[in-house]
Amino acid sequence: LPLALASSSNRAIIEAVLARLKLGPRFSVIHSAEHEPYGKPHPGVYLSTAEQLGVSPRHCLALEDSINGVIAAKAARMACIAVPDPAHIDDRRFGIADVVLPSLTELDETIWKRLTGQA
């Protein structure tokens, strides 16, 4: 399963965080919105990332923690799981996501299969 990172953060910050967490090698594609004409909520960073992966955006699942990120993912026609900061979990704007979870630990096989068309 190819894994990509599409972020609004600049590339230097992305690389520093991934290096610190030793997660860089897990991603097939790492793409920053700084290389796009517009940042999120514009879908460009997601569309470019899907293109670099060689897959249709409709076959992608975005994990987002921000309203602008959810808007961008849905505008790119991706399935989206929102995992808002606990202070914003009740923000109704997250309702455009396919699923809203209080934590990624809540992501289970049933949700995964439903969002990936395997249900």
CA distance 79 to 37: 23
Instruction: Specify the pLDDT at position 62.
Output: 98
Which domain, by its residues, includes 85?
4-115
The answer for residues whose C-beta is within 8 angstroms of residue 68's C-beta and 6 or more apart is 8, 39, 40, 41
Give the chain's length.
119
CA distance 23 to 41: 25
Tokens of 78: 């991706």
The answer for residues whose C-beta is within 8 angstroms of residue 56's C-beta and 6 or more apart is 50
CATH code, domain with 77: 3.40.50.1000
b or e along 33-52 (b: 16 or more beta carbons within 10 Å of the residue's beta carbon)? beebeebbbbbbbbbbbbee
* Number of domains present in the structure of the chain: 1
Instruction: Specify the pLDDT at position 34.
Output: 96
Instruction: Spell out the per-residue pLDDT of the chain, length 119, in tens.
Output: 899 999 999 999 999 999 999 999 999 999 999 999 999 999 999 999 999 999 999 999 999 999 999 999 999 999 999 999 999 999 999 999 999 999 999 999 999 899 888 86
Q: How far apart are the first and last CA of the chain?
A: 18
Number of helices (H), then strands (E), belonging to the chain: the values are 4, 5
